[in-house]
């Protein structure tokens, strides 16, 4: 099965499955568990089902698994851009290719088989089949394969979605995935509880000018921000946003005209207007 995109902001791995009740258009055949000898459904009472957390369907009764312990483990995930997937949790064998070209077989990987899927308002590119969750939670791909590859670590170089499909992205897991060499710099992750990767941002540089996070209105000098490869927009507090816009206006060509982008804020009913320069 083809799985895209890689998302550091979520945990669950899922793909579009047959028989599909509603799926978005894709260039690839949908995964059909009826043709797999290694596919296994996960029951409602299984440990893996209890690990779903927020990925449980919103209408899930707290005691439904007591009533139907051998029933399917249903899931529903919804993302900030309103994309979503609903289906059943299952286990399958997944194969990866190592740096040496050796095929590595990983058994009983937990994933979601999606029968109701929505690509969101942006829409699918045709190359997408689902999502690889690379978060810190127990059901993420990184966490599941950690015992086989030497720990929860990974690095990647992801090509844009509109790149020629023959050009493949590279993801390295476990031992040897570190990016090393001359000129390589790194930013440490903030060690806090939760399932997100967090970095401490001191400010934003525009050209040669550094705009610090702190201002006269706050005593904090750093801003903890989530690293989410599945999100297209960065969100920052209004204070630093306004100062970044001011610095941009001072730096960019004054002949550029603003272009308005309407952004509906996730998890709220409010919206914001961003002005981006364009010719």
- pLDDT attached to residue 165: 74
When pLDDT is averaged across residues 250-279 and rounded to a whole number, the result is 55
Mean pLDDT in the chain?
83
- pLDDT attached to residue 205: 93
Token pair 């070209």 in the structure block, residue:
101
Tokens of 183: 């000129």
- Return the number of other C-beta atoms located less than 10 Å from residue 91's C-beta: 17
Interval 62-97: pLDDT, tens: 788 888 889 999 999 988 778 899 999 999 999 988
All residues at 6 or more sequence positions from 3 whose CB lies less than 8 Å from its CB, including other chains: 13, 15, 129, 130, 131, 132
- pLDDT attached to residue 96: 85
| pLDDT beyond 70 at 124 | no
């Amino acid at each position: 099965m083809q799985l895209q995109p890689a998302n550091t902001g979520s945990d669950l791995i899922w793909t579009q499955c047959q028989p599909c009740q509603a799926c978005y258009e894709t260039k690839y055949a949908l995964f059909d568990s009826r043709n797999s000898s290694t596919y296994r459904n996960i029951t409602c009472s299984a440990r893996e089902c209890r690990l779903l957390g927020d990925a449980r369907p919103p209408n899930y009764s707290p005691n439904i698994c007591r009533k139907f312990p051998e029933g399917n483990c249903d899931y529903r995930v919804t993302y900030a851009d309103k994309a979503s997937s609903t289906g059943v949790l299952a286990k399958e064998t997944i194969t990866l290719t190592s740096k040496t070209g050796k095929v590595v077989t990983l058994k009983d990987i937990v994933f979601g088989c999606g029968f109701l899927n929505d690509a969101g308002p942006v829409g699918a590119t045709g190359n997408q089949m689902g999502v690889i969750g690379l978060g810190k939670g127990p059901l993420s791909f990184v966490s599941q394969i950690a015992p086989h590859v030497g720990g929860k670590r990974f690095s990647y170089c992801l090509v844009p979605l509109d790149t020629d499909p023959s050009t493949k992205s590279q993801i390295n897991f476990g031992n040897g995935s570190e990016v090393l060499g001359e000129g390589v710099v790194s930013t440490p992750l903030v060690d806090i509880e939760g399932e997100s990767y967090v970095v401490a941002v001191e400010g934003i540089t525009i050209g040669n000018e550094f705009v610090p996070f702190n201002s006269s209105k706050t005593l904090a000098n750093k801003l903890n921000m989530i690293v989410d490869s599945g999100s297209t927009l960065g969100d920052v507090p209004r204070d630093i946003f306004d100062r970044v816009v001011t610095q941009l206006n001072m730096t960019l060509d004054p002949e550029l005209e603003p272009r308005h982008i309407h952004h509906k804020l996730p998890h709220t009913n409010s919206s914001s207007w961003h002005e981006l320069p364009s010719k």
